[in-house]
Amino acid sequence: MPRLGTFDVWRDAARALAGADVASDAIAWRMEGDTVGLFEGDAHALPPITAPLNVPRAFPTLAKQVITARNGAAPHLLYDLLLRLRDAPKLLNNRADPMVQQASEIAKNIRRDMHKMKAFVRFREVTQAGANRRQFLSWFEPDHRIEELIAPFFTRRFGDMDWVIVTPEVTTRFEGGALSHEAVRSDRLELSDDTEELWRTYYANIFNPARLKIKAMQSEMPKKYWKNLPEAALIPDMIATAEARAQQMQDSAPSLAPARADRILARLPDRTPTDAGPLAGLSACTRCPLGTMATQGVPGEGPQDARLMIVGEQPGDQEDLQGRPFVGPAGQLFDRVADEAGLDRQAAYVTNAVKHFKFLPRGKRRIHQTPTASEVDHCRWWLEREVTHVQPVLMVALGATAARALTGDGRDITRRRGRVEAGLNGLPVLITLHPAAILRAPDPATRAARQAELRADLARAVVMLDAASGVRDVIDTSQTTH
Ligand code: URA
């Protein structure tokens, strides 16, 4: 059987042999490249397939996994099962059957190997000048012959880039959206680039020494995978210093303010430098771990006596680098829609519910992660200070996170959109869509509809501000039904 397409070749051969009632012990299944035993003969031509062979749907699924096992008995076992399934189509449901048990055990090991490969493949960027897609390379040593089985996972996950995964026996390529496999022997690749540093930083930051369970860690991430993981270089040091770091975490625990612990917060020293304006100097906040990942905290900006406050979710990639809110793609779209609605962004105070960028490193990209409710709660003290200081006449919540931070109500905003609810300090909050929801729209019609909704809501904000004195009266007190 060939190294690639093994299942298809096994299936066709097994079908022909079973159709001709060839007994299992009359067959020697051989993998290409295996040495031939002394008493094994040459390959014979297969009998023609005479009649279709019906098997339960679960069998090919099981066989596709089992055939990849580096276990010489697997093709035999599958053939024996196939012969028995002809008379006992429900055989696979019999968990007590030793053959079924053996096949299930092998399949379990294969799935475990696939799980490890999903978790431990690390791509290094190798993009060539002039390439129109980013290019990545990875080395991995699976226990079993799972390269073809696992490839669809990587094409789904990394469909927007070109990549190559090299294993000791197979090179899998995904280039320009086309997947191909080549059975070539390769020596271990030593890969290194600056992405590695990013992985290391990420891993060191998410590492929580208080939760270190060395045994569990080693069974989940066996040592044999460590050599290909850039972050693994940190493990010995992290283990050695875990106790001290856990103690350090305990000692500094009070800096992680419990959510809504207003009284505790009030007693904490004010970190605001008195000579730099009331809202400056907050970006050194370390009350939650997000600050350790981000480049900087991104405070709000705009007139400190603005009548309108615009609140988003959290800084994105561009905002994190520039230290200013809403300057990236979502911010640019917001500016355009605000302009169409007659809203002057320069006159508004623009900020976010969470002030640090939360992301997952992926190659050289940083993938936005929605902040959790607890992260929003931990960051609320900062937003409260902004609201108290600016005292806007009206606030606009862009999206669910901002709505939750300002109103305390975390319910879905689809039915709340366009409503005015009571927010921090009793101030009115107009709830609308986040511009990123427009950027993410699945088709042009949805995009246009969402953009029109945001425009209408912003236009309403302008009208409300114009009629400033009555703004507090427009808080919608009716309950939304959810
Ligand atoms: N999205 C937000 O919610 N805020 C920003 O500042 C940028 C993008």
Q: Which of 434, 438, 439 to mutate to test the pocket of ligand 1 (most atoms within 8 A of CB)?
A: 434
List C-alpha distances in Å: 69 to 98, 233, 234: 18, 30, 32
pLDDT at 451: 95
What CA–CA distance (Å, rounded) separates 112 from 387? 51
Please give the structure tokens belonging to residue 156: 């789904």
User: What would the pLDDT profile of 17-39 be if each residue is shown by its tens digit?
Assistant: 998 889 999 998 988 876 655 55
In a domain, 191, yes or no: no
Report which secondary-structure segment, H or E, holds 181.
strand 178-182
* Residue 337: CATH number of its domain: 3.40.470.10
User: What would the pLDDT profile of 102-130 be if each residue is shown by its tens digit?
Assistant: 999 999 999 999 988 988 888 877 777 77
In a domain, 49, yes or no: yes
Q: How far is the CA of 331 from the centre of ligand 1 (A)?
A: 7
Cβ–Cβ < 8 Å for 15, 86: no
pLDDT at 362: 77
List C-alpha distances in Å: 148 to 118, 171, 186: 13, 10, 17
The DSSP string of 184-231 is ---PPP----HHHHHHHHHHHHH--GGG--HHHHHHHS-HHHHTT-GG
Cβ–Cβ < 8 Å for 364, 321: no
- Matching residue, tokens 């050599």: 227
Atom of ligand 1 nearest to the CA of 324: 6
Q: How far is the CA of 314 from the centre of ligand 1 (A)?
A: 5
Atom of ligand 1 nearest to the CA of 313: 3
Q: Provide the whole-model pTM.
A: 0.48
Closest CA to 313 of 419, 411, 405, 408: 405
Please give the structure tokens belonging to residue 339: 């302009």
Q: Collapsing DSSP states into helix, strand and coil, what is residue 26? A: helix
- Matching residue, tokens 């109500």: 409
pLDDT at 160: 82
User: What would the pLDDT profile of 255-313 be if each residue is shown by its tens digit?
Assistant: 333 343 344 444 444 433 333 344 555 556 666 777 777 888 898 999 998 999 999 99
pLDDT at 263: 46
303 and 273 part of one domain = yes
Q: How many CB atoms lie within 10 A of CB 304?
A: 14
Ligand 1 first shell, C-beta below 6 A: 312-316, 319, 325-326, 328, 330-331, 352, 436
Higher pLDDT, 153 or 194: 153
Atom of ligand 1 nearest to the CA of 326: 6
Q: Collapsing DSSP states into helix, strand and coil, what is residue 421? A: strand
24 and 55 part of one domain = yes
Highest mean pLDDT among 280-289, 368-377, 465-474 belongs to 368-377
Q: How far is the CA of 1 from the centre of ligand 1 (A)?
A: 55
pLDDT at 103: 96
What CA–CA distance (Å, rounded) separates 77 from 453? 61
User: What would the pLDDT profile of 378-392 be if each residue is shown by its tens digit?
Assistant: 888 889 989 999 999
Is 50 exceeded by the pLDDT of residue 482?
no
Atom of ligand 1 nearest to the CA of 398: 3
Cβ–Cβ < 8 Å for 111, 65: yes
Q: Collapsing DSSP states into helix, strand and coil, what is residue 435? A: helix
Is 70 exceeded by the pLDDT of residue 77?
yes
Atom of ligand 1 nearest to the CA of 352: 4
Q: Which of 283, 301, 314 to mutate to test the pocket of ligand 1 (most atoms within 8 A of CB)?
A: 314
89 and 146 part of one domain = no
User: What would the pLDDT profile of 144-188 be if each residue is shown by its tens digit?
Assistant: 999 999 999 999 888 888 888 989 999 999 988 899 999 988 887
What is the average pLDDT across 35-62?
A: 74
216 and 338 part of one domain = no
- Residue 398 pLDDT grade (very low, low, confident, very high; cuts 50, 70, 90): very high
Q: How far is the CA of 20 from the centre of ligand 1 (A)?
A: 67
Q: How far is the CA of 477 from the centre of ligand 1 (A)?
A: 29
275 and 244 part of one domain = no
In a domain, 152, yes or no: yes
pLDDT at 284: 60
- Matching residue, tokens 């990587």: 154
pLDDT at 36: 56
In a domain, 256, yes or no: no
Final residue in a domain of this structure, among 99, 118, 137: 118
In a domain, 188, yes or no: no
- One-letter amino acid for residue 431 of the chain: I
154 and 59 part of one domain = no
163: Cα within 13 Å, side-chain hemisphere: 23
234 and 333 part of one domain = no
Domains: count for the chain: 4
Atom of ligand 1 nearest to the CA of 330: 8
User: What would the pLDDT profile of 410-425 be if each residue is shown by its tens digit?
Assistant: 899 989 999 999 998 8
319 and 349 part of one domain = yes
What CA–CA distance (Å, rounded) separates 137 from 464? 55
367 and 301 part of one domain = yes
Please give the structure tokens belonging to residue 318: 């561009």
Q: Which of 298, 320, 326 to mutate to test the pocket of ligand 1 (most atoms within 8 A of CB)?
A: 326
Is 90 exceeded by the pLDDT of residue 331?
yes
Q: How far is the CA of 326 from the centre of ligand 1 (A)?
A: 5
In a domain, 448, yes or no: yes
Tell how strand 178-182 and strand 349-352 pair up: unpaired
Q: How far is the CA of 33 from the centre of ligand 1 (A)?
A: 56
In a domain, 197, yes or no: no
Q: How far is the CA of 318 from the centre of ligand 1 (A)?
A: 9
Q: Range with the lowest mean pLDDT among 166-170, 240-244, 247-251, 344-348?
A: 247-251
pLDDT at 35: 61
What is the average pLDDT across 58-73?
A: 93
Final residue in a domain of this structure, among 92, 118, 144: 118
Q: Which of 352, 396, 440, 454 to mutate to test the pocket of ligand 1 (most atoms within 8 A of CB)?
A: 352
Q: How far is the CA of 336 from the centre of ligand 1 (A)?
A: 15
For the chain, the C-alpha Rg in angstroms (whole number) is 30
Atom of ligand 1 nearest to the CA of 434: 3
Atom of ligand 1 nearest to the CA of 435: 1
Q: How far is the CA of 329 from the centre of ligand 1 (A)?
A: 9
pLDDT at 333: 96
Strand segments, DSSP code E, in 45-108 are: none
Q: Which of 290, 318, 319 to mutate to test the pocket of ligand 1 (most atoms within 8 A of CB)?
A: 319
DSSP 351: E
pLDDT at 341: 93
Q: Over pLDDT 70: what percentage of the chain?
A: 74
pLDDT at 209: 55
| Sign of torsion over alpha carbons 65, 68, 71, 75 | positive
Q: How far is the CA of 378 from the centre of ligand 1 (A)?
A: 18
208 and 162 part of one domain = no
**Which of left, alpha, beta for 153 (phi over 0: left; psi -120 to 50: alpha)?**
alpha
Cβ–Cβ < 8 Å for 321, 402: no
Atom of ligand 1 nearest to the CA of 436: 1
Q: How far is the CA of 134 from the centre of ligand 1 (A)?
A: 26
Q: What are phi and psi of 422, to 5 degrees?
A: -80, 135
Final residue in a domain of this structure, among 61, 84, 118: 118
- Beta bridge partners, 426, equal none
What CA–CA distance (Å, rounded) separates 138 from 229? 11
pLDDT at 261: 38
pLDDT at 272: 39
What CA–CA distance (Å, rounded) separates 359 from 211? 22
280 and 220 part of one domain = no
Q: By residue range, what is the domain housing residue 351? A: 261-474
Kindly tell me the burial class for residue 430, based on how many C-beta atoms sit within 10 Å of its own C-beta (0-12, 13-18, 19 or more): buried
In a domain, 246, yes or no: yes
227 and 106 part of one domain = no
Higher pLDDT, 182 or 194: 182
First-to-final CA distance of the chain: 59
User: What would the pLDDT profile of 319-328 be if each residue is shown by its tens digit?
Assistant: 988 889 999 9
- Residue 440 pLDDT grade (very low, low, confident, very high; cuts 50, 70, 90): very high
pLDDT at 316: 93
Q: How far is the CA of 298 from the centre of ligand 1 (A)?
A: 10
